[in-house]
Amino acid sequence: MPFDGFTVAAVVAEINSALSGSRVERVNAPTADEIVLNLRTEDRRTLKLCLSASSNIPKVNITSVVKDNPVQASALCMHLRKHLNSARLVGASQPGFERVIRLEFSASDELGYPRAEFLFAEIMGKYSNVILTDGDGKIINCVKPVDITTSSKRQVLPGMAYEAPPPQDKLDPTVTTVDDFARLCDTYGELDADSFFVRCFRGFSPLMSRETAMLAGASGKPVKEHGLPLWHAFRETVGRCRAADFCPCIVYDGKKPVDFSVFEIKQYGAGMNTESFDSISECIDVFYRERENSERIKQRGGDVLRIVNAAEAHIKKKIANIADDLSRCDDADKYRVWADLLTANLYRIEKGAASAEVEDFYSDDGHTVTVPLDPRISASANAQKYYKKYTKSKTAKTELGKRAAAAEAELQYIRTVADALGRSETEEDLDQIRQELYETGYASKMKDARAKKPVKQKPMQFCTDGGYTVYVGRNNTQNDRLTMKDAGRYDWFFHVKNAPGSHVIMVVDGEEPPAEDFTQAARLAAYYSSKRGGENVDVDYTQVKNIKKPAGSVPGFVIYSQNYSATVTPDPEEAERLRVDKDKK
């Protein structure tokens, strides 16, 4: 999953093509390590430029993904707004073919005098950063301050002069000559060609290094045997980059994205399939979409995730213990038979005997049965003891059955919370889940569980191609309110069959929607569920008047009758297209 020098070059080319001359309308910071610039282009379009310094997903691209912004902007965000609002983007550049993007802005100070501002996005894994400097290169602010205790080589702090990241002991491929290349081939003649480019040149990822070696027909072979073909392949790859001849694509293993590149990827052969894109930014959005959401939930909902995981583990252990207890209750009928046999043979059993051989009159052949006895008590007392064990086991079996059913229901509830957590889009979503867990007793010991009152959110809103409004609940609490309070009696309710998922309501105002609208609503119910990645997902649907919520049931739990079922395949692109509240995410 490389964000290598070639990807940076493609992003820079796209920024210069689409955003040069655009004006900054607003600066947002959805997370502590991410900046989004809303830019108004010269042709009056508004585009979003995302600069992420996340340790796990560092990236820069023109994004179509809309994210929720905190109610209170961070100090960094406010500082960036002060310096960049209304500034004009002059252009982007890539110094030395490194994984650094330099954005130059033309701004004005408080008195209206022109000034230059620079924004550096350093895409370097856990060392990624976004740094704002003035025209003289003095650092104004940054996403990740670096002091002497963090790094003795390079500090990044407001007031200090900006220094580029320490250079690698590699050549810039855009200025490498044939003589330079020949010297490297002599030096690293024994090296595998697959590793040659990533070892010797800046900006090459392992993926691009292997692909270039394959282009030269030298995969897995020593460099010294293929010097000239490697030079031609190298020159072709770098030449395409200089000419901005990019063909962004994602490589999939089944449906799972495993790699992306700015050029065609052929090294995987027929074992994997690829999807091409017109834009590197779109390619990056699609590739990181699921990873970014799960990463955001990990960071911002870590406390909730720990509670849900602990609760699920505890309930599973409880169910296993109940199953063990139930297996021991299977002997209940045996105890009753032993008690009956002892009672029928009291006169034959000697006092103090440790066991009794008696005929089993319940069997067809009347075979004898050995019944263990407690020699300290009489045969009659032994019989009564077995009757008591029978009664106790029978009662326990009934109670354990109830406890098992309750534990299974509790496990299903926790899984609905986990599903809602996995689909959370905003901090408010997480706050509502925290509040739900507090009210149901799972988060009662969580620090400051009620300190932050959740903002009352509206459900997600969609519009089918037929013009019908569809609402999708974000969590169990919202599911209850949507279905049991907000929906009309003759609106349609959709829910994935026998799995956690959102309540989906299609508002029809007494009309009968076309079949395609029902299908689109069903696909939304499948997508916003735990089966969103599957195919041929069963979805139940019925009118809201058929929905009932049992008294005392957990949030989100309802029962229904007179339902229909549809089998659909979730479609994320359709869900994105039909959504009408994107800007409120």
* Statement to judge: residues 229 and 264 lie in one domain: yes
- Whether 342 is in a domain gets the answer yes
State the average pLDDT for the chain: 89
Residues whose CB is less than 8 angstroms from the CB of residue 426 and which lie 6 or more positions away in sequence, other chains included: 67, 68, 457, 585
- The pLDDT, as a whole number, for residue 552 is 86
Cα dihedral sign, 250-251-252-258: negative
Residue 167 in any domain: the answer is: no
Are 222 and 359 part of one and the same domain? no
Say yes or no to pLDDT of 295 above 70.
no
Render pLDDT for 4-29 as a digit per residue (tens, 0 to 9). 999 999 999 999 999 999 999 999 99
Domain count, the chain: 4
| pLDDT, tens digit (0-9, with 9 covering 90-100), for 345-378 | 888 888 888 888 888 888 877 788 888 988 899 8
Q: What are phi and psi for residue 279, nearest 5 degrees?
A: -130, 135
- Asked if residue 151 is part of any domain, the answer here is no
> Residue 241 to residues 6, 65, 201, 398: CA-CA distances in angstroms?
7, 27, 14, 72
**Count of CB atoms within 10 A of residue 31's CB?**
22
CA–CA distance, 303 with 65 (Å, rounded to integer): 25
For residue 331, what pLDDT is reported?
75
Question: Domain for residue 195, yes or no?
Answer: yes
Query: Within a domain: residue 134?
Result: yes
pLDDT of residue 261: 93
Residues 57 and 194: their CA atoms lie apart, in Å, by: 25
Residues 74-114 have pLDDT tens digits of 888 999 999 999 999 999 999 999 999 999 999 988 778 89
What residue numbers bound the domain in which 418 lies? 301-457
- Rounded to 10 deg, the angle between the 193-200 and 227-242 helix axes is 50
Q: pTM above 0.75?
A: no
Higher pLDDT, 257 or 543: 543
Same domain flag for 74 and 50: yes
Residues 131 and 11 in one domain: yes
* 147 within a domain of the structure (yes/no): no
Domain boundary among 142, 164, 199: 142
Q: Is position 165 within any domain? A: no
Q: Are 463 and 513 in contact (CB under 8 A)?
A: no
| Residues 529 and 498 occupy one common structural domain | yes
CATH number for the domain spanning 28: value is 2.30.310.10
Please return the burial class of 299, using the count of CB atoms within 10 Å of its CB with bins 0-12, 13-18 and 19+.
middle
Over the stretch 175-211, which tens digit does the pLDDT of each residue have? 999 999 999 999 999 999 999 999 999 999 999 999 9
Q: In the numeric block, which tokens belong to residue 262?
A: 């700015």
Within this chain, do residues 440 and 568 fall inside the same structural domain, yes or no? no
CA distances to 49, 259, 329 from 288, in Å: 15, 10, 52
Identify which has the larger pLDDT, 42 or 67: 42
pLDDT reported for residue 48: 96
Percent of the chain whose pLDDT exceeds 70: 95
Q: Please, which pLDDT band fits residue 573 given cuts at 50, 70 and 90?
A: confident
Rg (CA), the chain: 34
Long-range contacts of 232-239 (CB under 8 A, 24+ apart): 234/173, 234/176, 234/181, 234/197, 234/201, 237/6, 237/208, 237/211, 237/212, 237/263, 238/173, 238/174, 238/176
Among 436, 457, 478, which residue terminates a domain? 457
The answer to whether position 157 is within a domain reads: no
Residue 441 sits in the same domain as residue 333: yes
42 and 127 assigned to the same domain:
yes
Spell out the alpha helix ranges (H) of 351-426: 379-422
Q: Mean pLDDT across the stretch 564-576?
A: 92
pLDDT single digits (tens) 145-154:
999 888 888 9
- pLDDT tens, 333-343? 788 888 888 88
Same domain, residue pair 560 and 509:
yes
How distant, in Å, are the alpha carbons of 140, 316, 390, 465, 585 from that of 331? Answer: 77, 25, 8, 61, 57
Instruction: Assess whether 393 and 446 both reside in one domain.
Output: yes
Each residue's pLDDT tens digit, 210-219? 999 999 999 9
| 121-170 pLDDT per residue, tens | 999 988 999 999 999 999 999 999 999 888 888 999 999 999 999 888 89
Q: What is the pLDDT of residue 451?
A: 46
Question: Which of 457, 480, 497 corresponds to the end of one domain?
Answer: 457
Are 213 and 267 contained in the same domain?
yes
Same domain, 330 and 198: no
Does an H or E element contain 120, and which? strand 114-122
